[in-house]
Amino acid sequence: MDILTFDQLPQGGFAGLIERQFVTDRRVFRNADNKPAFDGLGNFVYLADANFMPNGETTMHNHQEVDVISVMVEGRITHAGSLEHGQGLEAGYAQVQRAGGEGFAHNEINPDSTMNQMIQLWVLPDERGEAAGYKVYQPETGKLNKIYGGQKDQDKTFYSQTAIAVAPLEAGQSVELSSGDNGEVLAYLSKGCGVINGETVHARTLVRADSIHFDAKEESQLIVIYKE
C-alpha cells in the first residue's frame, strides 16, 4: 500500500484558491516527474485538494475533452458558466461536468467570507466528441455512492470505464472495495480519520492499494477511484 499525505506536497494555487495536487498523471502533465504526486488510474489523471480564499473564485475558464468532478468537503460554492449556471453546491455534494467535444466554460465561486474546501478530479473521456453535460449528486451516508462511470445503457452517471464513488461516513461505519482483476484502487480521505487496510490515516491522505477496507473513527468523507 502506497500513501501520500498533504504535508508531503508543495502548496500551489491560482486565482482565488490555494491547492495541493495529489495526482498529476505523466500522460498529461509534462513536469510530473519532478513531483511526489501519484500517477492516475485508468483515465483518471488529476486530483487537487483546494481551499478557496474568502470570496475567492477560479475565474471563468474553458475545458474540452475532459470530465471535471468537484466534491465539496467544507463550505459551499456557487457554480457559474455554460452548464447549469447558478447551481449551488453545499458541503457533501458533488458535481460532474462533461466537456466532450463541445466543451464548457465555468467559474466556481466561494460566496462566503470564510475559506472552504473542495476536491477536484479530472478524467479523460473513453470516447471523444461527446456532448457537454452536467450532473449533481448528494451521496448517501454509510455507503459508497458512484457519481461517475458506468455503462452506456444508463443515465444516472456519465459513461466511463473509470469510476469514482464518494462515501460520507459516521464514526463506526465501514466501506470496502476490491479491484479484482482490474488493477489497483485509489482512495482519498478528504475529511475525518480512520483505518485503511489496518493503518491509521488522517484527512488529506491518498492511498493506492489492490483493495480498500476503511473503518471510520469519526465523521469522514472518502473518495474512491477504480476501474470497472
Cell of 149: 462511470
The amino acid sitting at 107 is: N
Please report the domains of the chain, with CATH numbers, ordered by start residue: 2-227 (2.60.120.10)
Local confidence band at 32 (pLDDT 50, 70, 90 cut-offs): low
Least confident residue range of 111-115, 149-153, 180-184: 180-184
CA distance linking residue 191 with residue 144, whole number of Å: 15
The pLDDT score that the predictor gives to residue 33 is 67
Which pLDDT does position 191 carry in this prediction?
A: 98
| pLDDT above 80: residue 75 | yes
Position 31 pLDDT exceeds 70:
yes
- CA distances 220 to 85, 102, 150, 166, 168, Å, are 30, 36, 25, 11, 6
pLDDT tens-place string over residues 153-168: 999 999 999 999 999 9
In this prediction, residue 35 carries a pLDDT of 76
Distance CA 181, CA 157 (A): 23
- Please tell me the predicted confidence (pLDDT) of residue 180: 73
- pTM for the model stands at 0.96
Supply 196's cell numbers: 485503511
